[in-house]
Every structure is written in C-alpha cells, then in structure tokens.
Amino acid sequence: MTEWFQGVFGFGLGWFLATLSLILLIALPLMLAVAMIIYADRKIWAAMALRRGPNVVGPWGLLQSFADGLKVFLQETIIPSAANRGLFLIAPIITFTVALVAWAVIPFADGWVLADINVGLLYILAVSSLGVYGVIISGWASNSKYPFYSALRASAQMISYEVSIGFVLISVVLWAGTFNLSGIVLAQQGLYGFLNGFGFNPLLFPMAVVFLISSMAETARTPFDLTEAESELVAGYQTEYSSMSFALFWLGEYANVLLMCGLNAILFWGGWLPPVDWAPLYLVPGIIWFFIKIFVFFFIFSWVKATVPRYRYDQLMRLGWKIFLPISLLWVFLVSGFLMLTRYGGVL
Amino acid sequence: MIEAVAFYLFATLVIAAGALTVLVRNPVHSVLWLIVAFFNAAGLMVLVGAEFIAMLLVIVYVGAIAVLFLFVVMMLDIDFAALRAGFVRYLPLGALLALVLAAEMVFAIAAWTAGGIDLGARIAPTPAAKPNIEAVGALLYTHYLFVFEAAGLVLLVALIGAVVLTQRKRGGGRPQNAAKQIARRPEDAVRNIDAPVGEGIEL
C-alpha cells in the first residue's frame, strides 16, 4: 500500500498519505468495534442475569451504542466552576488518545501492522503506563473529593500491577527471543509440532493466567474496579464529567480492554495463527483467528464482570504485591534457567 | 531534512517544557511540564537510534517516577506565599549553581568543537541491523557485569534502608492472616443451641 501511494504521489508525500490512511484504517474500525463490543458486553451481562439487555434500538438492539453516542454528543458539557479548566478537558483526551496509540504496533495478521518496530512490546508497556495520567489528572482537576480518592487508588493500582505484568512479559520475551510482536507470534508456531501458542506450554501457562488477571486489574475492570466503585466513590474519576468528555473516557476504557484482550491473544495464544498447527486451518485468514481470540478473551472479561464481586482495596494490593509479584519473579528465574539448560547449551 | 525538523522540534519542546517546569507557579502543572520534557527527550533518543533507551525513559520516568511525583505533589498542601518568601534567601545559591552549569556548558561546547568524541557513533550500535536491546544486553552482561551488579546492590541497600526507616513497632496491631481466615469454617464459629425456656445459656 505504501508503495502504491509512493508511486502516485512521490516518496515523501506518498509515505505520509499511506501512513495517514493506515491510521484511519485502524482507528475507525476500532471505534466501530468498541461500539459493538459495548453492546456485546451488555448482552452478555444481561444473559447472565436472565435479562434481555438492550433490545429496542435497531434489530436486536444492535444500534443501542450509536443511540447512546448520539445522546452524549447532544448533551451539554458541564465544567465545574472549581475545576482546573485546562487539565479537566485534557484528561479524557489523554485517556482516549493513549488507548488508540497503542494499536499502532499490534499485528492483525502476518505483516498487517502499522509500525513493525523491534521494541514493540516495550512500546506497549510505555503507552499503557501513560493511561494512568488520564485518570490522575481528571481526579485532581475535578477538584472534588471522590474523583480525587479514585485518582489515588487508580495510580497505586496501576503501578502495582504493571510490575508483575513487566515480569510476565520478560518470561515471554525470553522464550521468544524478541520484543517485536510479530516475532513473538511467529515464535509460537509449532509447539510440540502441532500447537500454536505459548499458553500450551506448561511452563508458561501460569504466566498466561497471571497476565489475564493482571490485565483486568490494569484496565480497572471488575473485580478490580476500585477506581469507580459506585457504592463508595459515586462514579470515581468520572463523577464530574458529562457529555463528550465522559464519552471519551468510556470509549478509551473499552479500547483499552480490547487492547488487553488482543495482547493476551498475541503473547500467549498465537495471535493470528490458528490454535492448532494444521494446514487446512491456515485457509482461514489470520485476522479472523485474531478477532475470534480477542472475542473469546472479551467474553472472559465480561463473564468475570458479571459474576465476581468487587475486591476490597487491601485484598487488591495483597494480590498484586504479595502473590503475583513473587510468582512472576520466580517464573522469570525458572524460564531463564530452563532456557539456559535446554536452548543455550547447559551451564556456562 | 525531516530529521533536522524533528530534532529542532523535540529540542525546542524539551527546553521550553523544562523552563516551564521551573517557572510555573502550580506544582502539579510543574510536574506535568516535566513529563512533557521527558517525552520529548525520549523523542530525541529515538532520533539518535537508541529506541531502547527511549522506551525505558518513557516506562521508568514517565510511567513510574513522574506518577509518584504527581502522587506526592497532589497531596501536598502548599502555601504559595511561604514558597515565594524564600526566593531572596536562596538567590545567591541559585546564582552560583547557574554559574557552575554555564561554565560546564562552555567547557563542553569548547571540547565538542575541539573534536575527539564522536557521540553519535557511540550511541548507535555498530552493526546497524543489530537491535539496540541485544547490543546493550551483550555489553551489560559481559563487559560491565560487575559494575551492573554493584549498581543492583546499591539499589538493594537503598531499598532495605527505606524499609528499615519506615517500619516501626506499633503496639496493638492486628495484621490480617489470609490463610487463617480462609481456613475458618462455619462450624468453628457458629453453634446451634436449643435454649431451654427461662434458663438461658452459657457462652
């Protein structure tokens, strides 16, 4: 595609236009996917609670998210008089932008990636660590006590779980031998000759579980949604927000959830590869496999949200620091020791 | 051409954000400007081909350290009048520091123009195809292994020091024992008693 654009518009302009259209090609379907995944989320909860869920707008309620979007778009943006105006408006923009920017390095299929950089995983880690700023800034700029509590909780929670996520990523990188996300996916091909995915490896499976739970904590989904615990903090950091500024938080949150589902699929379950290394399965396009995997993980997220009650804050911290951190640290030792013995030719 | 534009963009923004970090009245805004400066510094790192360092700068400084700064600064109850009152008292020290820094800069620029150190060539890994991380790892874990481990030891000592300083014996604490709580069954805590009328029960 870049070559075609460069052929028509010349080198520099062609590259610029190609990149711009690729960004739109990722961001616009992503927004559509977020709208539909919110609908799916509500339908799944409804099914688990024996309710109907959204079923009025459009066939089977399919257009519910668009109706909601239109509603918030037409509402008035209210800025509290005591708020720090500039930061108050910047915060949702940061959340939303950061959630979109991370998708630049996600490989959707073989070679289908906007920026195939060799520090892809570190880029994801860097961008996801920025997500906390939207929450902190909104909590502080609202100048209201519940958003502020929520911001403090969010920053402590996200930092805690990023530590164990970091160690989980290190064990994956050690096994794959690269930080490039496409390289990590390709390294998972043909485990024991017929499986595709690090998650099928008994040594890495516990890390897949730790990563799944940590990614729920990182995106502040139930049971870890202490940041917007409605029984304690009204709506947490979003309390003072209305209209589009609220919608940006909402969209950013779901884009982040989708990103984490995609990361689970890429790091442990073979990304765009079919789960079994069997030639007929490769006839299905890679992007379909990737979307199926994302949806399976989203279903797990939704399932957990519908069934598991919220953690207490000290339990959350205990799980992060006293359970996940030692386990993931131990696993880094185990994985590197195992690789040293098997792949790199014994001790020294 | 685009490299020069990008360089001047990042460099200008680093300097502007750094200046604003010092000049802005509100400490929270000041930390946020510091974050902008870190970001643009990471951009400069990418320009010289050190993408690993750039990502580390964002992860460590922006993602962790600046969050803690912000955390602390947001909870401070700052009296701006008291802050400004100290200005004259610290002026001589500040002026001295500025003088030292300016002198260092003059020396550095003079040494740079005299030639000798090719910084750009040192930053980028020598075979261009080799990823940054491999180059840094190969150097860090072979050539500089002992220095690296000594650095780790220093951090460990600092960590233990912080724990020792903050942990003090407090009487009457009842720390939670999760294993004990989970092991507790209803039979241990509940008794069903058919209480006789008019007699009550012994507890």
User: Minimum mean pLDDT among A293-297, A315-319, B1-5: which range?
Assistant: B1-5
User: Minimum mean pLDDT among A169-183, A221-235, A306-320, B96-110: which range?
Assistant: A221-235
Torsion sign (Cα): A207, A210, A216, A222: positive
User: Minimum mean pLDDT among A89-98, A154-163, B125-134, B186-195: which range?
Assistant: B125-134
| pLDDT at position B103 | 92
Fold of B1-77: Four Helix Bundle (Hemerythrin (Met), subunit A) (1.20.120)
Does residue A59 have a cis peptide bond before it, meaning omega lies within 30 degrees of 0?
A: no
CA A32 – CA A38 distance, rounded (Å): 10
Amino acid in position B149: E
For residue B101 the two structure tokens come to 């820094």
Planar angle of CA A47, A51, A57, nearest 5 degrees: 95
Gap from A315 CA to chain B (nearest CA, Å): 9
Average of pLDDT values for A35-55?
A: 88
| Mean pLDDT for all residues in chain A | 84
B62 touches A129 (CB < 8 A) = yes
Q: Which residue has the higher pLDDT, A113 or B169?
A: A113
| pLDDT at position A296 | 92
Question: Any chain A CB within 8 A of the CB of B64?
Answer: yes
A36 touches A65 (CB < 8 A) = yes
A35: closest CA among A299, A250, A261, A260? A250
Domain ranges of chain B: 1-77, 127-166
Contacting residues of A for B71, CB less than 8 Å apart: 136, 152, 155-156
Phi, psi at A195, each rounded to 5°: -110, 150
Q: Which residue has the higher pLDDT, A295 or A199?
A: A295
| pLDDT at position A86 | 82
- Chosen from B58, B62, B174 to mutate, greatest number of chain A CBs within 10 A: B58
- pLDDT at B127 > cutoff 70: no
Contact check, Cβ <8 Å, A125/B59:
yes
What does the radius of gyration of chain B's CA atoms come to, in whole angstroms?
29
Contacting residues of A for B52, CB less than 8 Å apart: 119, 122
Closest residue in B to A91 (Cα) is: B32
Q: Which segments of chain A does DSSP mark as H helices, in order? A: 2-9, 11-48, 64-74, 85-101, 120-141, 145-176, 181-187, 205-218, 230-233, 243-268, 286-307, 313-318, 325-342
* pLDDT tens-place string over residues A142-186: 888 888 888 888 888 888 888 888 899 888 888 888 888 888 888
* pLDDT tens-place string over residues A322-341: 889 999 999 999 988 888 88
- pLDDT at A299 > cutoff 60: yes
CB within 8 Å of chain A, chain B residues 141-170? none
A28, A45, A47, A49, A255 from A42: Cα distances, Å: 22, 5, 9, 11, 16
